[in-house]
Amino acid sequence: MTKMNEEQIEKLLEDISSIKSVLRQNRPLVQKIFDPAPLRNLLYAYSLTFIVFPLLFYFSIQYYGGYDLIPEGIRTFLIGVSCFTLFFLAAIKWMNRALLKMAGMIFTGRFGHLIFPNLILAVFLCFILARHGQHYYMVPAFAFCQGIQLNFYGCITGIKRYFLAGYWLLITGVIAIVFTSISPMIHLALTQGIGWILLALPIKEED
C-alpha cells in the first residue's frame, strides 16, 4: 500500500470538508423527513399504552398476590387489549407517509447494516432470556437495543429528541438491571412509557 503524499492528504481533507458542507446544507431536509413531530399524538398513545397496561398488571399482581393468581379472564383481557392496542398503533404508524419516507431512507444501503442486526439482536435476546426463565431482563435488554437505535438516528439527523429518548432508555435500562427488586412492570412503564413521551416532546431544533 503506497503512502499518501501531502497533496493527496490535502485533497482528501478538501473532499471531507465538501461532504460536511453538503450535509450541513441538507440537514434541514433530513430533519424534516426524520422529525417525529407529525407522529406526536401517536407517540403519546404509545407512551400511555406502555404506562397504563403495565401499571394495571402491577396493581393486579399486588391485589391478587401474584401473576398466576390473577383470574384468567382478567389476565387474558389485559394481555389481549394491550397487544391489540400496540398492533393497532403500529399499523397506523407504518401507514403514515412521513414514516414510510423515513423508512425508505434508513432501511437501504449501509444504514440497514446497523438497523437490522440491532432489531435481530433485540428479538434474539428476548427469546433467549424468555427461554431460560429470565423474563425480568427482557425489559432492560429491549431498552438497550432501542436506546442504541435512537442514538443512531440522532447522530445522522442531529435531532435532539432522539438523543434524549435514546439516553433515557439506556440509563433506565441500567437502573432496571441494578434495582431488580422493583417490578419489571414498573421498569417497563419507566423505560418505554417515558421514552416515547420524550421522543414526542416539542423541542425546537437548531437550523
Cell of 142: 429491549
Tell me the residue type at 179. Answer: F
Contact 74, 60 (CB under 8 A): yes
**Separation of alpha carbons 73 and 71, rounded Å:** 5
What was the pLDDT predicted at 158? 80
What was the pLDDT predicted at 1? 45
**Separation of alpha carbons 134 and 89, rounded Å:** 28
33 compared with 178, residue with greater pLDDT = 178
**Separation of alpha carbons 48 and 183, rounded Å:** 18
Residue range 102-135, pLDDT digits in tens: 555 555 555 666 677 877 888 888 888 888 888 8
What was the pLDDT predicted at 102? 55
Eight-state DSSP code of residue 39: G
Q: What is the pLDDT of the chain when averaged over all its residues?
A: 77
**Separation of alpha carbons 50 and 140, rounded Å:** 14
pLDDT band at 191 (very low <50, low <70, confident <90, very high): very high
User: What pTM did the predictor assign?
Assistant: 0.74
114 compared with 15, residue with greater pLDDT = 114
Length of the chain: 207
CA of residue 10 relative to chain centroid, distance: 40
Contact 129, 138 (CB under 8 A): yes
Residue with cell 427482557: 138
- Mean pLDDT lowest for which of 13-22, 39-48, 153-162, 190-199? 13-22
**Separation of alpha carbons 170 and 176, rounded Å:** 10
- Model confidence at 9: pLDDT above 50: yes
Contacts of 116 (CB under 8 A, 6+ apart): 107
What was the pLDDT predicted at 153? 82
What was the pLDDT predicted at 167? 95
